[in-house]
Chain A
Amino acid sequence: MFKNIKDRIMNKKRNENINENITENITEHEAWELNQSLDKNKALLQTILDNDDMVTFRDFETKGKASLKCFIVCVNGMVNNEMINENIIQPVTNASLDEISKQTKITDAFINKIIVSNSITKTSDVNQLVCSVLYGDTILLIENETEALIIDTKGWGMRGISEPLAERVVRGPREGFTESVMPNLALIRKRISNPDLKFQFKEIGVRTKTKTCLCYINGLVNPKILQELMERLDDINIDGITDSGMIEELIKDAPLSPFATIGNTERPDVVVSKLLEGRIALVCDGTPFVLTLPYLFIEYFQANEDYYNNYIYGSINRLLKGFGFFLSTSVPAVYVALITFHQEMIPTPLILSVFAARQGIPFPTVVEAVIMLIAFEILREGGIRLPGPIGSAIGFVGALIIGQAAVEAKFVSAPMIIIVALTGISNFLVPKMFGPLLVMRLLFLISASFLGLFGYLFGVIGLFIHLMSIRSFGLPYMLHTGDLKMQDIKDTTIRAPWWTMKNRPKLLANEDSNRQFTGNLGKKER
């Protein structure tokens, strides 16, 4: 980015020949340090920030005999105007520099005595100054000083903390992340008051310089995974990041797989519980979606509400979700396989009703299934972006047209409607898995239309080979799922009561695996 600014100025020098008096004196080296002359500095900054009407320059002077000329630069709208007026301009204009001894530097005097702000840095690096201005800070330049002050005055408007729409809960905290990184981090921090919680900032995106923050708990996190993540983040070379989803795709394992190997959530409580399991969270500026990693397959089925409700209810929910996964992927494929390949496996009354329902339907069953599945996806996608009332209207129209009219017009058979509806609704049990489910459903359907149930079974085998071979940051994606060990089943197929979950997931955090410190209770079991 710095280079870009430099290049631009150089280009200007060559092409436009304006501001000659300034630029001609600037050597390559000096150009990026501030000058003694306030005017020159101002001109330099104005050149850099020209054609940007959001940027405001404001000159003023200190009081007293030896009044010093100063000016500040800030970007309108990104700063807190009140703060600038009261904490910078007012003290500076009221201050007299007479009593300040000659020994102290003027800039230090400004920092220590005049300006009221909790965050001031001084620098002579023009690049840094420009970047700070553009990120909502205010810079103060003082006559005859080669160092300028960067004062934190960030104050752009932002959305308040509200309940995340995508992950609603009946029981549980209703806070959700917002689009700004700092308040998000605060939401995490306030839940873990522990010095071991570490935040590390990183900037991603050559042009956007998006602030991202790595959060982890020292001592719980697996250093290897952290190291791996750092390396992958450093490898990113992209000019802009607009959402954490882009980072996810850039660093995830098995990039071509439809399955997510990095999780995302809008809920601080989810992030905190993942941090406590030894995972790493990646907060990205500009998006409420926080990434958590490593991400295992089972996490698709672990809703945060499971942990707050009664454990039996939570366990049933989890089993239901697993069942929903099965239904959503398999129902169309199994239906097609049974109806067109293995008619002997359907009870006679059922096959008679299907037989009657399919009279006069023009399409083969497979085509019918594919059409209906696509129609369902269209309705879903169409309804999702529309504002509430219209969205529900779409739902009605869809239900009426697809359900009633299509059957009556002998366009599709009634059982197929039931199948598609079942598929679609069970889809919502695992809401984060829409993409993978859609892909799997169609693949299973196609393979079932080749070889019937055997084709479907081959599809399942293939799916599991794929799932078993994926890793998320070194961890097997299907960790724990093949195990019937009590310790591992506790938080996978069922949700055991909290007082039995004494240990963290083992492979994740190897340093400190005790979750509960109730005397020897936890240790005894190990």
Chain B
Amino acid sequence: MNKEVISDKQGISIIILYMVGTSSIFMTALEAEKDSWLAIIMALFMALIVAFILARIKTLFPEDDLFQIIEKCFGKFLGKGIILLYTGYLFYTGVLVLMNITQFINISSLDETPEIIIRVALMLLCVWIVKEGMEVLGRWSEFFVIPIIGFILIFICLSIPKMNIHHLFPILSVGITPMIHATHFVFAFPLGETVIFTIAISQLSVKKSYYKVYMTGVLIGGIILLVICLTNLLVLGINITSGVYFQTHLTASLIDIGGFLQRIEAVMTVVLILAGFIKLSIYLLATSMGVAKIFGRPDYRFVVTPVALLMINLSVILFDSIMEFMKWDVEIWPYFSLPFQVIFPIIILIIAEAKKKRTKNSIREQTCP
């Protein structure tokens, strides 16, 4: 079996790209209106807790990925069932990510190109990198995370002249319920999906650094998200922000520095494509690993292409329009993803801790009778 080892920095880069991925183009916490940035901060705290739980699980079983841990904790039969559920969840989420990216491309500029073509082209690259393995993926992310963060910084700096601080006030105007909803949504959509890294980033070169990698990655990714959200709000104001699908794209298109530095929304598009590509690849990787695990195969590579093709197929079936898609995203997604993001990890952690304790005790009993 191929153990793909990546370094801490590569791990963090992957998580950052993953977080920035699709969520950089459209804002998620819009239910909280002017306070969506507060919702993101709250969700970030929750996400850090989840990341901590997952890191704890990984530290208990540093050699295994989540699927193996599930099998160890729940036994073969029940374990397979849960793995199946997880694989389905990952597969489905992967399709959503794919649709997100291609819809953005399609709506923002290539309006006459059939979406399926863009999907196939994107998936082709994903299949390629996933087949090359986690190591290439890690190195790729490590290389591209620098320009991506650079682009985002440039974007924010150039947006400063158009910002209006009044757009944020009054703070806390929407009330508690929308706030909680928004927090839940932000958590469900990009921030809480750390669970996938227990599958994808299952081998780090330094064994004990899962805490560092998961939590730093989530923290930096979350901060970038927060900053992008703030920029959009400050430039556009809530009225426009809530009225368009791709806020960042609009904000970037308004940048005009002295008449010559303008029309640079392409920069943000680059960020989206590069980061979104990594996000999609990770879903493809994790799903393939899940499928291989269900059938008890050690290596996942053989199943990558069919999984990718099935993803494309499902993306055709799923939603007919972006309206339907967005509605589903807001209404159903946060609840659908909750068990996978939070409930299962907590259960696994409890069982794992218990198991560890028992084995420790039994070892102690054996050594000192």
Q: A342-B266, A461-B125 are in contact. Are A454 and B132 (CB under 8 A)?
A: no
Task: Please indicate the chain A residues that have their CB under 8 angstroms from the CB of B265 in the complex.
Answer: 345
State the CA gap A455–B270 with chains docked (Å).
11
A346 to chain B, nearest CB (A): 7
Q: Please report the C-alpha to C-alpha distance between residue A346 and residue B121 in the assembled complex, in whole angstroms.
A: 26
The reply to whether the CB of A225 lies closer than 8 angstroms to some CB of chain B is: no
CB distance from A279 to the nearest CB of B (A): 21
Q: Mark A408-451, 1 if CB is under 8 A from B, else 0.
A: 00000000000000000000000000000000000000000011
Give the residue of A341, A342, A464 whose beta carbon is less than 8 angstroms from that of B140. A464
Task: Using known A-B contacts A342-B109, A454-B105, A464-B144, determine if residue A469 contacts B132 with beta carbons closer than 8 Å.
Answer: yes
Contact A461-B132, Cβ < 8 Å, known A342-B109, A478-B143:
no
Name the distance in Å between A480's Cβ and chain B's nearest Cβ. Answer: 10
Please state if B139 and A454 are interface contacts (CB–CB under 8 Å): no
Q: Tell yes or no: A135 within 8 A of B by CB.
A: no
Bound complex: CA of A387 vs CA of B64, how far in Å? 66
Determine whether the beta carbon of A457 is less than 8 Å from that of B274: yes
B263/A347 in contact, CB under 8 A = yes
Given the contacts A347-B260, A451-B110, A465-B128, A476 and B139 also touching, CB distance less than 8 Å: yes
Bound together, the chains give a CA A182 to CA B150 distance in angstroms of 52
Q: Enumerate B213-233 residues with CB–CB distance to A below 8 Å.
A: none
Verify B269–A453 contact, CB threshold 8 A.
yes
B146 cross-chain contacts in A, Cβ below 8 A = 482, 484
Contact with B along A457-493 (1 / 0, CB 8 A): 1100110110011000000101001111000000000
Q: Per-position contact with A for B80-122: 1 when CB-CB < 8 Å, else 0?
A: 0000000000000000000000000100011001000110011
Indicate if B142 sits at the interface (CB-CB under 8 A).
yes
Chain A residues whose CB sits within 8 angstroms of the CB of B129 once the complex forms: 465
Q: Identify which of residues 128-151 in chain B touch chain A, using a CB-to-CB cut-off of 8 Å.
A: 128-129, 132, 136, 139-140, 142-144, 146
A346 to B262, CA, bound (A): 9
**Size bracket, chain B contacts:** 20 to 34
Query: Which residues does chain A contribute within 8 Å of B143, judged by CB atoms?
Result: 464, 468, 478, 481-482
Check: B254 CB closer than 8 A to any chain A CB.
Answer: no
Answer whether A458 and B132 are a contact pair too, CB < 8 Å, given A453-B269, A478-B143: no
With an 8 A cutoff between CB atoms, is A381 at the interface? no
Is B277 interfacial (CB-CB < 8 Å)? yes
- Best-buried of B117, B139, B274 by chain A (most CB within 10 Å): B139
In whole Å, how far is A356's beta carbon from the nearest beta carbon of chain B?
20
Contact, CB under 8 Å: B277 / A461:
yes
Selected from A345, A458, A465, the residue in CB contact (under 8 A) with B122 is: A458
B263-A468 in contact (CB<8A):
no
Residues of A within 8 A of B168 (CB): none
Please indicate the chain B residues that have their CB under 8 angstroms from the CB of A457 in the complex. Answer: 270, 273-274
Any B CB within 8 A of the CB of A24: no
Question: CB < 8 Å: which of B105, B132, B260, B277 contacts A468?
Answer: B132
Task: Point out the residue from A347, A465, A476, A484 that lies within 8 Å of B262, measured CB to CB.
Answer: A347
Q: A451-B118, A451-B121, A465-B129 are in contact. Are A341 and B139 (CB under 8 A)?
A: no
B307-341 to A contact mask, C-beta < 8 Å, 1/0: 00000000000000000000000000000000000
Chain A residues within an 8 Å CB radius of B277: 461
Least distance between B278 CB and chain A CB atoms (Å)? 10
Q: How far is the CA of A346 from the CA of B140 in the complex (A)?
A: 30
User: Chain A residues with Cβ under 8 A from B144's Cβ?
Assistant: 464
Cα of A468 to Cα of B136 in the assembled complex, Å:
6
Expressed in whole angstroms, the minimum distance between the Cβ of A80 and any Cβ of chain B is 55
For chain B, residues 249 to 300, give those with C-beta under 8 angstroms from any C-beta of chain A: 260, 262-266, 269-270, 273-274, 277
Closest to B132 in A: A469
Is A332 at the interface (CB under 8 A from chain B)? no
| Distance in angstroms between the alpha carbons of A454 and B273 in the assembled complex | 8
Q: Are A465 and B113 in contact (CB under 8 A)?
A: no
CB neighbours of A346 from chain B (8 A)? 263
Q: How far is the CA of A468 from the CA of B6 in the complex (A)?
A: 13
A458 with B260: in contact, given A345-B266, A452-B109, A468-B140 (CB under 8 Å)? no
Q: Say yes or no: A478 contacts B113, CB within 8 Å.
A: no
Q: Provide the residues of chain B in CB contact with A478, threshold 8 Å.
A: 139, 143
Kindly provide the distance from the CB of B180 to the nearest chain A CB, expressed in whole angstroms.
37
Known contacts A465-B140, A476-B139, A484-B146; can you find 14 more A-B pairs with CB under 8 A?
Answer: A450-B121, A453-B109, A453-B266, A457-B273, A458-B273, A462-B128, A465-B129, A465-B132, A468-B132, A468-B136, A468-B143, A478-B139, A482-B143, A483-B142
Q: List 11 A-B contacts (CB under 8 A).
A: A341-B110, A451-B118, A451-B121, A454-B105, A455-B121, A457-B270, A461-B125, A464-B143, A465-B125, A468-B136, A482-B13
Residues of chain A touching chain B, judged by Cβ–Cβ distance below 8 Å, are 341-342, 344-347, 450-455, 457-458, 461-462, 464-465, 468-469, 476, 478, 481-484
Query: Which 3 pairs show the lowest CB-CB distances between chains A and B?
Result: A482-B142, A482-B143, A469-B132
